[in-house]
Amino acid sequence: MGSVASYFGQLCGKQKKREEERHLRANDRSFNLSYNYANNAIKTSKYNIFTFLPLNLFEQFRRLANAYFVFLMVLQLIPQISSLSWFTTAVPLILVLSITAVKDASDDINRHKSDNQVNNRIVDVLIDGELRKEKWMNVQVGDIIKLENNQFVTADLLLLSSSEPLNLVYVETAELDGETNLKVKQALTVTGEIGDNIDALAGFNGEVRCEPPNNRLDKFKGNLVLNGQTYALDNDKVLLRGCTLRNTEWCFGLVIFGGPDTKLMQNSGKTTFKRTSIDHLMNVLVLCIFGFLASMCSVLAIGNAIWEVREGSMFTVFLPREPGIDAALSSFLSFWSYIIILNTVVPISLYVSVEIIRLGNSFYIDWDRKMYYPKSDTPAQARTTTLNEELGQIKYIFSDKTGTLTQNIMTFNKCSINGKAYGELFDFAGQRVEITEKTQTVDFSWNRLADMKFIFHDQSLVETVREGNPEAQTFFRLLALCHTVMPEEKTEGELFYQAQSPDEGALVTAARNFGFVFRSRTPETITIMEMGTRVTYELLTVLDFNNVRKRMSVIVRSPEGKLTLYCKGADTIIFERLHPSCKKLVEVTSRHLSEYAGEGLRTLALAYKNLDETYMEDWKQRHHEASITMEGREERLDELYEEIEKDLLLLGATAVEDKLQDGVPQTIEQLAKADIKIWVLTGDKQETAENIGYSCNMLREEMKDIFVVAANTAEGVMEELRNARRKMCPESADEPSLVKSRAGLFWLQKTEAVLDEKVDGEYGLVINGHSLAFALEKNLQLELLRTACMCQTVICCRVTPLQKAQVVELVKKYKQAVTLAIGDGANDVSMIKAAHIGVGISGQEGMQAVLSSDFSFAQFRYLQRLLLVHGRWSYLRMCKFLRYFFYKNFTFTFVHFWYAFFCGFSAQTVYDEWFITLYNLVYTALPVLGMSLFDQDVNDRWSFQYPQLYTPGQRNLYFCKKAFVRCMMHSCYSSLILFFIPWAAMHDTVRDDGKDIADYQSFALLAQTCLLVVMNIQLCLDTHYWTAVNQFFVWGSLAAYFAITFTMYSNGMFLIFTSIFPFIGTARNSLNQPNVWLTIFLTSLLCILPVVAFRFILIQLRPTINDKVRHKVRKEALPAPAPRRPPTRRISTRRSGYAFSHTQGYGNLVTSRKFLLKLPLKSRPVLFTETDSPLAQNQPQHYRTIAEEPEESQSPQMEEVRRE
């Protein structure tokens, strides 16, 4: 009702003013109601009982096809032009509208149930000085409510007080951002003192001024005015609707935003509607068909006019014209009559069948046990049912690296402390020893709080720490203090860490095992066990992380009163802020960092600084002033952080390992052989990304060259891109060759395409974030695209989420190719939404990517099965379905066209009306669905064996405008046979007993029987893979036809419904004649024989890759795969820094500001020779060419299948 009221309000000129600032007062409903803020009721449903029918029909008739069929039905109700009964269109139309309406009603009823369930939840609300049970939907802005443990947060609340010490609460935000780890929120001290005193809460009259409703989950700005004092509010004082209260007995909150104004509802906007390239082509083809239909009807209308003038006068004696109708008007009416008759060129069942096929192919993905990941109990999921066939046409894949190619499960691998490297093992001769699973691990039994799952091999580091080395102990003390991990200790000594990123947890766990155990924290203290001794540090402040600072710091006071700043961050950032005395140590540590980068490890530099008490007091006061300002708060805080983080003393560096997922190199190799280009878009530093590229088989030593674009100016980037392009293709023109064309409905959309340029050999391109920012500018983007598309592999490093989406959009715009983006984190969402197909990996970074994706699964290796098997089959099935569907309907319609020349262009139908009604709904519906749901040219293992089978889909060879024209020509030929052979056979034919059977009804029966038999034989020719279901559908549809025909043409039906079933006795009189069956046989032979001959000749002269592989399948069993050699380990000489993700972090734990630290994944470039993954067990990733077969065993028509 709210939307209706707002609509009428706008009509009356009362348009709601846009909210610029929210102002509310606690416990004052009358004051807050004056602002007309939304209450807490939500409405996600679209209809109610009164609006469902009109609104749903209105939505359905917005589809051009549905409106077209209603128009046809109206024409059929006009007796002057209709030669077909209205039910021939009405029955299928009502059926389709009803099915869609039932589906929409079911969806909306579920939404209503969900809304009612949420709106009727009960919560304690403070009203008139007492707590009352109220429904959620009755909660108003300004109310104070009480939440208890494990309850959902009712609305967006300002946290006032809680049961926990220091007014902390713990919330789970899985419903908001997919992350299951707990977040900490903390109330202001001034409100926290109220506790659960109901009288004090009832008397609370604080006023809040804050930002208007918005969808930013990570930011909140506002002030609380209480007793004349102003207090700053930020995101950590706010509990958002959708969160769940955990480990907190109770808390009180003040409602700031309710219902549709909450950040959860503000973020529930509609996802971009994606449509496949076949959908777009279908729109254009349907428009062309409408034009073709109009031209056919015009020809027949002109024919009618000519016939009426020349021949019609002879019939007026016994068929007089109606008053006022002459030849011209008769011609006009016959035009509309033929529009009705020939409308089957665009049958309504086409749209229903397409949706059924897509739904069926989506279920195959959901049910595929080979894409099920047992470790996390995660099956593959098709989250949308409208994009399946697009999976068979992918040309470009854009992949994240962190958690997508790598496991995102971090282990502390190596470190450098005070210039000495730890983590490697050496023998007596000083040679490095390779660490394997059998290598002895360090014994941590001396530490009763150690995590026994932690594995480390270098005993010398433990000895160094236990000997009391001050640098080593300070190193691990920093790791135990400088983080945002939340500890949970259910039983004494049994610690669990809730880390906001896997590498945070790895570093704190490492410190724990080496004797510096993080035990507990409050907003003002951190307690750790230092080599068995309990030490509590006072936490003064945490200096926030953001993507510019790329570091975080904590300032703590030890029990002795010593003030220290501990800092960790990207090495380049830390090194700039070191004291000059660290120069030599920096050189040594840099060498260690280079080694770690060569192994694909994630690195981090650590430093500290002792602070003066007087300076700290002055700095803290300025920090407080900056933190409560409303304008320029972040800029002022950054300046203060820069000031204090100077002259740091370097401690060393950490190296965290994140191994590749199982099967990643094999998957990438397979996809490359299917001529799919893979671009990696990552936030990692260049060296790390490059090493991961080598370990994934994306970059290979045998590549002719790998270009690195790292210039810091637009001119420099242009020069580097041009030099790379000229080296790959010396004759390449300076200006790109743009092909301009028009596309879309009515050809209104202008498109530009950059043509591919020929390159001899394979190349790779690595470009960093700074250079990419310049390259994406309008004057450079085509140069970037040309150069990148010449390369087999492209790696973009240090990119922001926005740049990821921009790269995808650039390729979509100028390459006219189908793109797929795959990622697992929140920073991949923009890329996933921008691509034609978005794939989410349910990994360690929450479920944000999955929630925005079209398809999801747990491991990157399943991507090759999704594309090479499910995608290819879906595309093949959809194209085969469309070709056959248009063929059978054009043939059906063209027979009407030829018949017009023999019936005086009178718009008489050549078939029985009931046959016309049931042709697409009953007689031909199931066989084509059976083929479209079960057909496959080769099975899944052969699809993996020959990835080149995928390439025809990329070029859209199976269903395009040319294929459509060929289909029309085939239909035209078949219709000529199907009309003229039965016509000639029946022309002067008599029965066995000498009676005449050359009547209209007998001819109609013969024509429609021939048509149905030919259609089924053609379907059998198109079917490559037979199942019992296919057999049942084909034979069942023929049996149904004869059963229904004999029933409808029986005496009984004629006696009951005389006007509806006029074909009395036709079936039994005609179908008992041998010449009728001979005519059916001859017609079928003449229709099918040329098709078989043409296909045979085509396979001999121009075999496709499918023909070659299917020939191969018939000749031999699937061969055993060849063993793989692991690639050699590659050591980089470049230094790697720590690459943070581009997500704002919140570190101030005094106010529990969140901190989200994402380290760039770096992995060892080692391929595993053996793996127990399902991929290896099925061995689908191995590839060989047909040419590997001995020459003498090949048939003459077989050509070599080259590697592409």
Give the side-chain half-sphere CA count within 13 A for 259. Answer: 22
DSSP state of 450: -
DSSP-assigned beta bridge partners for residue 553: 543, 567
Which residue among 156, 400, 684, 937 is the active-site one? Answer: 400
Q: If phi over 0 gives left and psi between -120 and 50 gives alpha, with beta otherwise, what is residue 166?
A: left
**Contact present, 152 and 122 (Cβ < 8 Å):** no
Distance CA 453, CA 449 (A): 12
- What end-to-end distance do the CA atoms of the chain give, in Å? 60
Distance CA 369, CA 347 (A): 37
Phi, psi (deg, nearest 5) at residue 879:
-65, -45
For 803-836, b/e burial (b = at least 16 CB within 10 A) is: bbbbbbbbbbebbbbbbbbbbbbbbbbbbbbbbb
Amino acid at 460: S
Q: If phi over 0 gives left and psi between -120 and 50 gives alpha, with beta otherwise, what is residue 63?
A: beta
Quote the tokens at residue 801: 């989420």
Phi, psi (deg, nearest 5) at residue 325:
-100, 120
Q: For residue 11, what are the contacts with CB-CB under 8 A and spacing of at least 6?
A: none
Distance CA 748, CA 1165 (A): 50
What pairing do the DSSP bridges indicate for beta strands 793-797 and 763-768? parallel
What does the angle CA 501 – CA 506 – CA 512 come to, to the nearest 5 degrees? Answer: 130
CA distances from 1191 to 351, 427, 1100, 1103, 1114 (A): 48, 52, 18, 18, 17
What does the angle CA 1097 – CA 1103 – CA 1106 come to, to the nearest 5 degrees? Answer: 125
Residue entry with tokens 């390159």:
759
Rg (CA), the chain: 37
**Whether residue 115 lies in the annotated active site:** no
Distance CA 1074, CA 1172 (A): 65
Task: Map 73-84 to HEC letters.
Answer: HHHHCCCCCCCC
Distance CA 1059, CA 209 (A): 77
Task: Please spell the DSSP secondary structure of 236-299, one letter per residue.
Answer: GGEEPTT-EEES-SEEEEEEEE-GGGSHHHHT-PPPPPP--HHHHHHHHHHHHHHHHHHHHHHH
Among 286, 183, 172, 221, which Cα is nearest to 21's? Answer: 221
**Contact present, 605 and 595 (Cβ < 8 Å):** no
**Contact present, 914 and 1048 (Cβ < 8 Å):** yes
Distance CA 847, CA 841 (A): 8
- Would you state the torsion angle of the CA atoms of residues 276, 280, 283, 285, taken in this order, to the nearest 10 degrees? -110
Give the side-chain half-sphere CA count within 13 A for 495. Answer: 24
Task: Please spell the DSSP secondary structure of 33-53, one letter per residue.
Answer: HTTT---S--------TTTHH
Distance CA 306, CA 216 (A): 71
Phi, psi (deg, nearest 5) at residue 122:
-105, 140
Residues carrying an active site annotation: 400
